[in-house]
Structure 1
Amino acid sequence: MLKLLSSSSSCLQARVHVQGHRRTCIRLCSSISISTNPSSQPFSLPIISELIAKQHWSELKTHLKDSNFIAVLHQLFDAGADPVLILRYFSWSQKNFNVTHPLELTCRLLHYLANAKKYSKIRAFLDGFVRNNEKHSNSSIFHMLSMCGNQFCANSVIIDMLVLANVKNMKTRLGFEAFQRAGDYGFKLSVLSCNSLLSALVKENEIGYVEYVYKEMVRRRIEADLFTFSIVINGLCKVGKLNKARDVTNDMKAWGISPNVVTYNTLIDGYCKKGGLGKMLKADAILKEMVANNVRPNEITFNILIDGFCKDENVASAVKVFEEMKQGLKPNMVTYNSLINGLCCNGKLDEACGLWDEMLGLGLKPNIVTYNALINGFCKKKMMKEAKELFDDIMNGGLAPNAITYNTLIDAYCKHGMMEEAYALHNSMLERRVSPNTSTFNCWIACFCRQGNMELARKFLLEMEVRGLKADPITYNLLIDALCKEGESRKAERLLNEMFKKGLSPSHVTYNTLMDGYCREGNLKAALNVRLQMEKEGKRANIVTYNVLIKGHCMKGKLKVANELLNEMLEKGLVPNRTTYEIVKEEMMEKGFLPDIEGHLYNISSF
């Protein structure tokens, strides 16, 4: 069962007995004589015990009519009654007579059960105790357990199950606190309770606590298992702490535990979600490491990589992984959906249609995700007739279009000026009781912002709020962009401040759009203030930021300052893009100004 129970010798070796706990200065759990209670009436303990054992509760109730229930409990303890029998009486008196048993009696009962090795009973009892407990803190529970008995093994078992009970009842913080106090008291916990706590902390995104528990497990010599490492690695990958996740993988190997397919999949998924060329290369390297270590990749492994490459707009690598997958595994619906979506997003509609046919040939039936991906592909190619035909096929195939389906088509109709079709589809969406979401309204707001019709954009914004939907950063980016293009950057900045009030985090797009608006108006001071605010919020200037500011200064004739910004950009390791070269060429060199890039590894002629 629990490893801490496997050997009594491990308990004897632990340095846990704080000298004060060994003393019996006050025996809170000592027996209380029934004769001391004037309300108590004489009764036969053997009869009481027999009634409890047979669960003849009505007779017991009659027999104990004028007795003190807590005094009876003390008598059962003193008589050395069976722990299960005492537990039955404890629970019955609590449930039927709302008796509030003192914490010391609760702890005494737990000790009796632990000494009798009634572990399932302890688990069930603590589950109810934790669920209903609003009175006793972890501190008082630990203190009373220590006062009621200095049996290290028993206390360790009880506290271990207390941690589990807290986690089971979704009281993770109390479980974490119990874990901490167990370390202070020197109680030995099992890997089972630690894993449950770690898993709950990961679900609640408390990765800092996950790291603490993992380090404490190592310090306390709680032997971690495969599940421990997998949970910790998953948590670290979840928040993008990939280097730490790799360190834990190395710890795992040092403990003699080999990573399995789940471990590798978690790491690969972490790098794929992080994105970027470097991260995707590392994800691919982990796949190779996996194969080298004789761990066979499964469908999930390949699906993660294919989806990662597609989202990174590296469809060629995704196709390569897809072909590699087919050498030993059968691609499933998830595989085809990821690849079809990736191809459609990159304008490779013919290849996507080829995969659609291949999928059908394998007997795989397209689902709504497949249809949505292909409809998006047709919309990007302005093939609205084919997109609508696919939309109609959804119903014919026994599927139902969802909000994404409608949003994709509404957005495409709006972009192509097909407003009647867009309105008709919106009404159809409402008739079919498909609830519009924030993205639906963003499609309309974007449409009217492009048309310069801010009145209609605000109308849809108001309707969105009436429906109980909240504007997201994309909504604000659209409105800020539209206002900046109308020369209303001050109003746009008010929206930025509104985002902060609503707890939304502006993106680089938000800040860069506002900076661009101010630069177009010639208000460089305001643009630079926006940059300062952006950096104060923890977002460093990116290549777009520098392009906007360099062009803004060039337009005001401040070419030397623009040149300084160009050098600053290069010093920070940012690589100039096509827009940078165009700005330098058109706004500097063609105006007779030769930029001085101070020995950076760029040839002026390349600009």
Structure 2
Amino acid sequence: MSTASSLLLLLRRNAAAPAVALRLFLHLTSPSAPPPPRATSFLSGLLAADPSCHPLLPRLLRHLLSLPDPSPHLLSLLSPRHRSPFPLAFSLSAFRSLRALGGAAPPTPVYNRLLLAALREDRLDLVEALYKDLLLAGATPDVFTRNALLEALSAAGRMDLARRVFDAMPARNEFSSGILARGYCRAGRSADALAVLDAMPEMNLVVCNTVVAGFCREGRVDEAERLVDRMRAQGLAPNVVTFNGRISALCKAGRVLEAYRIFNDMQEAWEQGLPRPDQVTFDVMLSGFCDAGMVDEATVLVDIMRCGGFLRKVESYNRWLSGLVKNGRVGEAQELLSEMAHEGVQPNSYTYNIIVDGLCKEGKAFDVRRVEDFVRSGVMTPDVVTYTSLLHAYCSKGNTTAANRILDEMAQKGCAPNLFTYNVLLQSLLKAGRTTEVERLLERMSEKGYSLDTASCNIIIDGLCRNSKLEMAMDIVDGMWNEGRLALRRLGNSFVSLVSDSSISKSCLPDRITYSTLMNALCKEGRFDEAKKKLVEMIGKDISPDSVIYDTFIHGYCMHGKTSLAIKVLRDMEKRSCNPSTRSYNLLIWGFQEKQKSDEILKLMSEMKEKGISSNVMTYNSLIKSFCGRGMVNKAMPLLDEMLQNEIVPNVTSFGLLIKAFCKTADFSAAQRVFDVALSTCGQKEVLYCLMCTELSTYARWIEAKNILETALEMRISIQSFPYKRIIAGLCDVSEADHAHSLLKLFIAKGYSFDPATFMPVIDALSESGKKHDADMLSEKMMEIADCNDGQSAVSGVVTPRSRKHEQDKYAESDWHALLHRDDSARTIMKITNRVRTGWGQRGNIHEHKRQQDDDIYVLENIG
């Protein structure tokens, strides 16, 4: 038996122990006795299949490079025949060594294997570099090679260049069309994706599903439905993936009721040829309900999943757990953890991180220190995600001292922060304008060996824009095209150690987010000509603008009252095949609402309907606000019914606008009716009670305001922002001191701690009416509370004074202790009234629908 055959036989006998096989290989081979390439190929396959042996690969590479002719052995390492791939870094090292040897170009399959590995790790820059190297080496790209380049360009949003590559392909397959169509859909250009589908020799189910989901994401449900009808007409039956894509896209767009209708049809009309829901369908629908705040509906769905055997995986439990935590139902989340143990479903680190992240983000109800206690309780083993959640929570509160403490604890526990962890802290510090601490953080990152990536650069550019350093931000972006992250060195010495002159550094190029940040800042300052130049530059760099970019211009023009130019942007989007979304129209409608042009809003809503773009609650709220601003509340009121007919659930803002409008016209009974409906639709929200009580107080309806306040006290709702002193002083002013006195006694009986200055108008009124005994009793209680509080805030449910003063408080001149500090708002809480009127509840339970922003305008103000 030859030496080569003996070596291969030995390797095969030790295939179960790759490390032993490697030692034998290194021992039995040398430059004077080189191994056969097939022995190298067999050994490399063994090492690739065992991740624990990957650290040994550099040793093998060094040995192969010592051989007289390493080329065939390096090709064996890179052979696409191996089922398991090597780590990308090692493959690149072997490839560079092969290219440095010169000789014939590596075969195209070697390039293809590297391209696939680069795509797996999202190294889009490497895909382009490898493709250029292939062409320079004289190799011939095949369909797979070109598809890999197409995938990289599409993932980077460079759709115009991707289209040129697609059109220039001498041969392409259905995967080529699918990649381009998916890229268009990701860029919000589903109409272009449909054109790709139309050009295919025959309809492809996967591509059809991609385009259907894309249309749904853009709110163009009618076009999605037409495509599904086309599929059926051509004998291509929509499958469960088609329906899952539609449901997922609708849920992500906030159109959960439409998604549920499709889901319900799959459950009940499957005899008509519809696919039955699978695990993915249930999971997507569950996430949709949870994200929309429809917890009651989600609870019913979870019961169905239990009965049908669809709640047996930790991933499904995690979705439900996330929904409960996100909607403030932490107690039920803890019960769910117990259920998982009972059902034999083992929680993973993600399960516990859901709880930690949810509690950290629920800043109003939970103290981050409580979450830290939970992390340290031993129930879970914190990982980098856990610590990053804590870090983000402290950063969002501006507590960078605690955030640095978390970093120190990570070091002590041997849990190394990743670049994302540092980016979270970097973003927080830049938002707060704390440049000195930014420099210290950068020094710390340098000490730990971290280097800035594109996301870090975008955070820094955004921080510069927020801190009125827009010129410097633009200068850095210009420099990044030639220097990569080296352009950041012009910010100061603290950045020098975090950048290098390596080729990787230069690959840190601006992306769509970079340009979006710059254009948003320019539009906010009204510098539209410069913003347009950046848009042209972006397109020239083969970065396709998406709908978010155009929305930035629409919002900027509307902010500066230039609605006619905003309309032109909308039309330009359509010309460039970047279809406007619901958000695009909402921004424009908001611009007309600011000018109280209701007729223009109605025209735009009609246009949306014609184009199959669905309106949402923000669309209607703008119209309601416009009508109410013009004193046309009777035209605004029917819009609530219209919203429900279109399966759009009114939110707090919808009802708040009507309540204010009716109170302004002194129609308090109508305001009360709207308030009753709001409670039934949105739930017993504090903000609704605050709003109603504020309006009553504003118009001196003291008795009604007092009744609402009493109900709030009975419900044990926190009333920190209550105008309680105004109500009590107002009651005394209209000779209703007894009502004010009873309100104070209820405060005390329920254990509320409040500003002792509240006693003073009641004491004065009682004294003036001859009730000296009651006045003396109140005086003693006031002194007792003042001594206990000494200006400090109390625990949950308290009424704490704030710094802003009420204009109507006639006791504003006293400075005794901190007793006369004023509330900082004019909000309070109303009592629970009658249930929703007949007919409204017939569309299903809408009590716990999505808790949207209390004022949609604040959402519109935060674009980009």
What is the TM-score normalised by the length of structure 1?
Answer: 0.56
Q: 1:220 to 1:564 in 2, by over 3 A?
A: closer
Task: Write the distance in 1 (CA, Å) between the matches of 2:212 and 2:218.
Answer: 10
SS of 2:236's partner is coil
Deviation at 1:382, TM superposition (A): 2.5
Question: Contact between 1:159 and 1:178, CA under 8 Å: does it hold in 2?
Answer: no
2:214 is the alignment partner of 1:366: no
Q: Residue type of the partner of 1:521?
A: A
**CA distances 1:226-262 after superposition (whole Å, capped 9, x unpaired):** 5753644769997783332221112223455532222
Task: Write the distance in 2 (CA, Å) between the matches of 1:200 and 1:413.
Answer: 46
Task: Write the distance in 2 (CA, Å) between the matches of 1:242 and 1:561.
Answer: 37
Say which is worse superposed, 372-381 or 226-235, in terms of deviation: 226-235
Question: What residue is the counterpart of 1:74 in the other structure?
Answer: none
Task: Write the distance in 1 (CA, Å) between the matches of 2:16 and 2:117.
Answer: 26
Question: What residue is the counterpart of 1:273 in the other structure?
Answer: 120
2:83 is the alignment partner of 1:244: no
Say which is worse superposed, 330-339 or 220-229, in terms of deviation: 220-229
Task: Write the distance in 2 (CA, Å) between the matches of 1:335 and 1:509.
Answer: 39
2:188 is the alignment partner of 1:347: yes
Q: 1:485 to 1:511 in 2, by over 3 A?
A: closer
Deviation at 1:515, TM superposition (A): 4.5
Task: Write the distance in 1 (CA, Å) between the matches of 2:429 and 2:352.
Answer: 17
Task: Write the distance in 2 (CA, Å) between the matches of 1:222 and 1:441.
Answer: 60
Task: Write the distance in 2 (CA, Å) between the matches of 1:521 and 1:468.
Answer: 29
Question: What residue is the counterpart of 1:550 in the other structure?
Answer: 395
2:104 is the alignment partner of 1:263: no
2:219 is the alignment partner of 1:386: no
Task: Write the distance in 2 (CA, Å) between the matches of 1:496 and 1:340.
Answer: 41
Task: Write the distance in 2 (CA, Å) between the matches of 1:239 and 1:384.
Answer: 41
SS of 1:251's partner is helix
Question: What residue is the counterpart of 1:440 in the other structure?
Answer: 281
Q: Which residue of 136, 140, 157 corresponds with 2:5?
A: 157
Q: Which residue of 282, 303, 308 corresponds with 2:152?
A: 308
**CA distances 1:402-429 after superposition (whole Å, capped 9, x unpaired):** 3321211233566341333321124456
Say which is worse superposed, 429-438 or 445-454, in terms of deviation: 429-438
- Could you list the runs of 5+ residues in structure 1 that have no partner in the other structure? 1-113, 115-152, 585-593
2:168 is the alignment partner of 1:323: no
Q: Which residue of 486, 506, 515 corresponds with 2:327?
A: 486
Question: Contact between 1:157 and 1:189, CA under 8 Å: does it hold in 2?
Answer: no
Question: What residue is the counterpart of 1:470 in the other structure?
Answer: 313
Q: 1:235 to 1:375 in 2, by over 3 A?
A: same
SS of 1:173's partner is coil
Task: Write the distance in 1 (CA, Å) between the matches of 2:140 and 2:59.
Answer: 31
Question: What residue is the counterpart of 1:229 in the other structure?
Answer: 75
2:127 is the alignment partner of 1:283: yes
Deviation at 1:199, TM superposition (A): 3.3
**CA distances 1:426-479 after superposition (whole Å, capped 9, x unpaired):** 445687695744322211211332311242243244246x2596342xx34532
Deviation at 1:218, TM superposition (A): 2.1
Q: Which residue of 378, 387, 403 corresponds with 2:240?
A: 403
Question: Contact between 2:244 and 2:281, CA under 8 Å: does it hold in 1?
Answer: yes
User: What does 1:412-427 correspond to in 2, within 5 Å?
Assistant: 412=249, 415-418=255-258, 419-427=260-268
Deviation at 1:333, TM superposition (A): 1.5
Q: Residue type of the partner of 2:394?
A: L
Task: Write the distance in 2 (CA, Å) between the matches of 1:564 and 1:571.
Answer: 17
Question: What residue is the counterpart of 1:591 in the other structure?
Answer: none
Question: Contact between 1:162 and 1:175, CA under 8 Å: does it hold in 2?
Answer: no
Task: Write the distance in 2 (CA, Å) between the matches of 1:597 and 1:531.
Answer: 31
2:175 is the alignment partner of 1:334: yes
Deviation at 1:526, TM superposition (A): 3.7
Question: Contact between 1:207 and 1:236, CA under 8 Å: does it hold in 2?
Answer: no
SS of 1:598's partner is helix
Task: Write the distance in 1 (CA, Å) between the matches of 2:86 and 2:352.
Answer: 19
Q: Residue type of the partner of 1:605?
A: N
**CA distances 1:81-105 after superposition (whole Å, capped 9, x unpaired):** xxxxxxxxxxxxxxxxxxxxxxxxx
Task: Write the distance in 2 (CA, Å) between the matches of 1:373 and 1:470.
Answer: 27
Question: Contact between 1:214 and 1:232, CA under 8 Å: does it hold in 2?
Answer: no
Task: Write the distance in 2 (CA, Å) between the matches of 1:259 and 1:246.
Answer: 13
Task: Write the distance in 1 (CA, Å) between the matches of 2:125 and 2:407.
Answer: 30
Q: 1:160 to 1:241 in 2, by over 3 A?
A: closer
Q: Residue type of the partner of 2:263?
A: A
Q: 1:335 to 1:266 in 2, by over 3 A?
A: same
Q: Residue type of the partner of 1:549?
A: Y
Question: Contact between 2:313 and 2:345, CA under 8 Å: does it hold in 1?
Answer: no
RMSD of aligned Cα (Å): 4.7
Task: Write the distance in 2 (CA, Å) between the matches of 1:515 and 1:457.
Answer: 24
Task: Write the distance in 2 (CA, Å) between the matches of 1:238 and 1:606.
Answer: 51
Task: Write the distance in 2 (CA, Å) between the matches of 1:548 and 1:366.
Answer: 49
Task: Write the distance in 2 (CA, Å) between the matches of 1:182 and 1:560.
Answer: 55
Task: Write the distance in 2 (CA, Å) between the matches of 1:237 and 1:518.
Answer: 46
SS of 2:117's partner is helix
Q: 1:595 to 1:208 in 2, by over 3 A?
A: closer
Q: 1:535 to 1:432 in 2, by over 3 A?
A: same
Task: Write the distance in 2 (CA, Å) between the matches of 1:580 and 1:379.
Answer: 38
**CA distances 1:14-62 after superposition (whole Å, capped 9, x unpaired):** xxxxxxxxxxxxxxxxxxxxxxxxxxxxxxxxxxxxxxxxxxxxxxxxx
Identity of aligned residues (%): 16
Q: Residue type of the partner of 1:263?
A: V
SS of 1:218's partner is helix
Question: Contact between 1:340 and 1:373, CA under 8 Å: does it hold in 2?
Answer: yes
Q: Which residue of 553, 574, 587 corresponds with 2:423?
A: 574
Question: What residue is the counterpart of 2:467 in the other structure?
Answer: 605
SS of 1:326's partner is helix
Task: Write the distance in 1 (CA, Å) between the matches of 2:348 and 2:404.
Answer: 34
2:40 is the alignment partner of 1:194: yes
Q: Which residue of 295, 300, 304 corresponds with 1:452?
A: 295
Question: Contact between 1:272 and 1:309, CA under 8 Å: does it hold in 2?
Answer: no
Q: 1:599 to 1:190 in 2, by over 3 A?
A: closer
Deviation at 1:370, TM superposition (A): 0.9
Q: Which residue of 50, 54, 57 corresponds with 1:211?
A: 57
Task: Write the distance in 1 (CA, Å) between the matches of 2:148 and 2:419.
Answer: 35
Question: Contact between 2:209 and 2:242, CA under 8 Å: does it hold in 1?
Answer: yes
Deviation at 1:337, TM superposition (A): 0.7
Deviation at 1:351, TM superposition (A): 1.8
Question: Contact between 1:198 and 1:210, CA under 8 Å: does it hold in 2?
Answer: no
SS of 1:379's partner is helix
Deviation at 1:338, TM superposition (A): 1.0
Question: Contact between 1:481 and 1:513, CA under 8 Å: does it hold in 2?
Answer: no
Q: Residue type of the partner of 2:248?
A: D
Q: 1:192 to 1:213 in 2, by over 3 A?
A: farther
Q: Residue type of the partner of 1:396?
A: A
Task: Write the distance in 2 (CA, Å) between the matches of 1:308 and 1:545.
Answer: 34
Q: 1:343 to 1:599 in 2, by over 3 A?
A: closer
Question: What residue is the counterpart of 2:137 in the other structure?
Answer: 293
What is the TM-score normalised by the length of structure 2?
Answer: 0.41
Question: Contact between 1:191 and 1:225, CA under 8 Å: does it hold in 2?
Answer: no
Deviation at 1:339, TM superposition (A): 1.3
Q: Residue type of the partner of 1:455?
A: T
Task: Write the distance in 2 (CA, Å) between the matches of 1:398 and 1:577.
Answer: 54
Deviation at 1:172, TM superposition (A): 4.2
- Could you list the runs of 5+ residues in structure 2 that have no partner in the other structure? 409-416, 440-459, 470-864
**CA distances 1:369-407 after superposition (whole Å, capped 9, x unpaired):** 111011101211233333233223334333343332121
Task: Write the distance in 2 (CA, Å) between the matches of 1:596 and 1:213.
Answer: 45
